Structure formats: structure tokens, C-alpha cells
Copies of this chain bind each other. A is one copy, B any other.
């Protein structure tokens, strides 16, 4: 690694954090208060959760741990506080700041401490690959993107053997707390680990930190995850650059697929930021039970209307998860996955696409077979031939933007022959994903992640096993944010997986009744009709505060803030 002038200058930014986290005597052993609050994100799951988590369930009723300064008591301790930390899953801007905040809070506690970083995600914990983290180790990682300080991984701690191994390694390091920075899966597993540790008398408290650029780890307690703001601001910048291009050359529709399989938060925020011609929101497609043909017709209708005004160009945003939200496609994919698993050995004897395709058609239901054959050949090939590591259809490799282009193109050809369209359909396709996962955090994410790190340290000091560090009132200035700990179980629900109901952290989808979607749906017709592109520019880290200290527009809308202040 070579330090560029930007890298160096940005490292000097001191993140802001809630004033309630200033007095770090808390870390000498604060007691926390329970806030009165409705039970959880899914009250109906209460008794089943109790059954799955008998040892940690009680804390759900105790409520949120509010870390208020007044509550800090001064139980001085000379016993070192030992904290482990790991990064899990896809990187998100701000991950290094969580660790930095954790380290700063531990340092400021004036109590001896050790911070142990596990390398390469949960795998590093299971294999006991770790390093001690000092101030010097962190200097070059302050306010940087990426998870490269420790690396990350996708290993999941699920089996009881893995839990036992995690316990053994935690004990070997004499950890008082283990901070797991991850998404919904990692935090689901953190809840299981917390239960296992409690049940088996381990002294290590498991603490989660909510990370994901996708924004789908979102609920009553989590207003947004760290990383989301920075990633969407990069994507929005790129989208608005492309919109300028479309407007300059006036000859292409740009189909832009955006990361986010489980939910369309990124796409919605980018739409609010850039005001594109058409935006597909997967949750809406699912709610309206649209078929692929109907989605295509929707696009074609706008394109035809614009052609009649002489506008043969535009910007179309497509969430990565779209096809899984189209009911007929979802069924097809489920059938295919089932087939590929059940007849794996036989299918592997079939040479090439044509033979496999014939075989699969014979096995699919009539509906699925019809859906499959209505897809362009390239997409059929991708669905059938690319497999993910679990042997399933590799959906992340399916180029949905190209699928839509092919289908729209054929549809418009027919319309042209029928005399209902006289424009010319030029296109370009883009996928925005990896470019944004490791951008340096915006001030918002730098502050938020750093504050979460300080919060995690406070939770570690009070031994808050099975809690997630959260920060509320995020649309206020950081000094007024309200840090706290929420029982992981309070965010859980049950999902059916392989025929069984399993407890998981509930995914936060785009709420079609929410204010952010509401604003979008009120304005989208105007955006489609004439060009209302909004050019956002790259993230500015220096300069006037109204540029550097912005919050996501969807967050501002959801928190009821006025458009004028936050637009």
C-alpha cells in the first residue's frame, strides 16, 4: 500500500460522535437503562424465539440499552478488558472506522485493554488467525474504505462444532467480548453464538454491528446501516454522469443494474438522488404481481411516449434482485434449483446447453417451461450453465439489464411494424456494484461507523451479550445521535428454509407505504415525461458542511425532514 495525498489528507478527519459517548468512564463498567418499547419487530414470533433461545431470551423484555452519559458509573477496574473483532461478508465503507472507534474508546477508558482482530472473517476466529491491534496499526486505515485491515470472509458459524470452536478460541484469548461487524446473516449467527456462549457458561459477550451497503438490515431499531450512504453516493454520481452523457448524445437508453439482491433500497435512494427516466423497484413489482412481459411493456410504454417527443434516450435503473421478485421468474428459479439438485448426476452427463435444455424442459412444470422458453437464449444459458458454489442458479451472474434490453428491443420491433413506434432504440448497459463497496466513507458513514465502534466498546464493557450496537436519530447532527444496544432477538423473525422455520434477522425491504417510496412514486411520472436529471457530483470530503455532511435522502424523508433542508 502506498499513501496517496488524498489518503493522507482524509486520514486526518476526526469523526464526530454522540456527546453521550464522550465520557468514557462508562467503559469502567456502566449500567444501562431499559427503554420502554414495544416488544420486537415480530411479536408473533415471541414464543418460538423463546424456545430457540432459552438462555438469552430474557433480555428482550429488558429492552434497549441506552448509553446515556448520566448512567456512567465509575467502577474502576484494573483488570484488562479483552475484546475481539471481526469483519464479515461484503465490505462496506466505514468498517475500519468501527474498529478505530472501538480502539479509541478502549484507549480513552484508562483501563488496560487488548484488541484482537481476527483475520479473514469468521474463518479467522475458527482457525485462530489473529493479530493484536494497536494505534499504529490503525493510522493508515482511518476513514478508508475496504475491509483490508483484517480481511473478510463468508464462513458462517452455524453448527455446534463451529460454536464450540469459537468458544475455545475466545477462551484462549480470554475475550470479554467479541464484536461481529456484519450483515443480517452474520448477525443471525451472532444471536445463535450468544445463546450458545450463554448456555455453555462462556464469559465472552457477543456484540453485533450492523453493516451492509444494500440497506436491507433495517428495522424499527436500525435506521440505516453504515456503508449504505457512501455506496449510493458513488452510484448516484455515476448515474448522473451517465445521465449527462445520455442528454449530450441523445441516442442511448442506459440500462443500469444496481447492487442489492434482497431489497431495492440502493435503487430507490439512487432514484431520489438522480431522478432518472424509469426506476424499477423490485418490491413493487412483487406486490403488483407483475409478469416479465408486463415489466417490459411498462418500459416500452415510456420509451414510445418519449420517442414521440423526439427523446430517444434515457436512464433506466434496475435493482439486481428484480427477477427474483417477479413471481413467474421466482417459481422458475425455484424449480430449476430443485431440478439441478435432484438430478445433478444425470445432468452432468449431458453435454452442453442444448441437451440440458431439452432435458430440463421435460422436467419443468408447464408454466415454468413456458417462462423459460420465453427468455432470450443467452439468459437461458446463464440460468442453466452457471452455478453458484451451492449448485444453485448463479443469480448474481444473471445480467438482468441485458435481459430487459433484449426483450424491450423485440417488443419495440413489433410495435414499429405495427406503426405504433417510430423512434430508434439505442442502448448501453452497466452494472454498478464493486466500484462502490470500498469507497472511502462519506462523513456520515465515517461518523456513524466510528460511533458504532465506540458504542460497541461500551457494550463490551457492560458485557452486553447478544446485543447489537445501534445509533438512533441519525438525521440529526452526530452529537445528538442516541447510541444504544438492542437485543438481537428483538430483530428476529422466522423464515422457511428447506421446509423448516428458522429464526433469522428480519430483512428490511423497501416499504411501499413509506415516505421515501411515496416521494418517488409521486414524482416518477414527471421524471419519465421530461428530463429532470439531478447531478450529484462525487462525495466531497472537504468544503462546506452542507455538501460534506449530508444524510441519505431516503433517511431524511423517512425521518420527516423537510425537502428544503436536505435536498
Contacts and interface: CB of A to CB of B under 8 A. Distances in A.
A434 B313 CA distance: 14
A217 B201 CA distance: 71
Nearest to A145: B244
A173 interface: no
B434 A145 contact: no
Interface string A232-243: 001001100111
Contact of A434 (B247, B275, B430, B539): B430
A540 B537 contact: no
B120 A6 contact: no
A193 B491 CA distance: 71
A543 B546 contact: no
Contact of A6 (B147, B248, B535): B535
Interface in A8-34: 9-10
Given A4-B536, A428-B434, A547 B9 contact: yes
Contacts of A248: 87, 91, 146-148, 151-152, 438
Contacts of A244: 91, 144-146, 148, 438
Interface string A401-441: 00000000000000000000000000010100011111110
Interface in A515-532: 531-532
B6 A547 contact: yes
A534 B5 contact: no
Interface of A (DSSP majority class): loop
Contacts of A436: 241
B535 A144 contact: yes
Interface residues of A, number: 62
A541 interface: yes
Nearest to A89: B249
Given A440-B537, A540-B6, A532 B1 contact: yes
Name the residue in A6, A91, A532 with the highest tally of chain B Cβ atoms < 10 Å from its Cβ. Answer: A6
A533 B146 CA distance: 13
A404 to B, nearest CB: 17
A7 interface: yes
A9 B148 contact: no
A254 interface: yes
Interface in A109-162: 120, 144-148, 151-153
Contacts of A437: 241, 245
A542 interface: yes
A544 interface: yes
Contacts of A544: 9, 542
Nearest to A95: B248
A238 B533 CA distance: 23
Nearest to A10: B537
A247 B435 contact: no
A432 to B, nearest CB: 8
A428 B397 CA distance: 10
A533 B1 contact: yes
A435 B430 CA distance: 9
A338 interface: no
A339 B533 CA distance: 44
Interface in A468-485: none
Contact of A245 (B2, B9, B91, B249): B91
Contacts of A330: none
Nearest to A428: B434
Name the residue in A247, A532, A550 with the highest tally of chain B Cβ atoms < 10 Å from its Cβ. Answer: A247
A533 B438 CA distance: 13
B245 A434 contact: yes
A387 interface: no
A434 B254 contact: yes
A544 B540 CA distance: 12
A238 B534 contact: no
A514 interface: no
A275 B2 contact: yes
A7 to B, nearest CB: 5
Contacts of A439: 237, 241, 538
A7 B274 CA distance: 12
A394 to B, nearest CB: 12
Given A4-B535, A7-B535, A90-B249, 20 more contacts: A2-B532, A3-B534, A5-B550, A6-B535, A7-B534, A87-B248, A120-B250, A145-B241, A145-B244, A145-B535, A146-B244, A148-B247, A151-B248, A152-B248, A234-B241, A237-B538, A241-B437, A440-B537, A540-B543, A542-B543
15 contacts: A1-B532, A5-B567, A6-B535, A9-B544, A148-B244, A153-B249, A234-B241, A241-B437, A242-B435, A242-B438, A245-B434, A440-B537, A538-B538, A542-B543, A543-B543
* Top 6 closest pairs, chain A to chain B, by CB: A542-B543, A146-B244, A244-B438, A538-B538, A6-B537, A147-B248
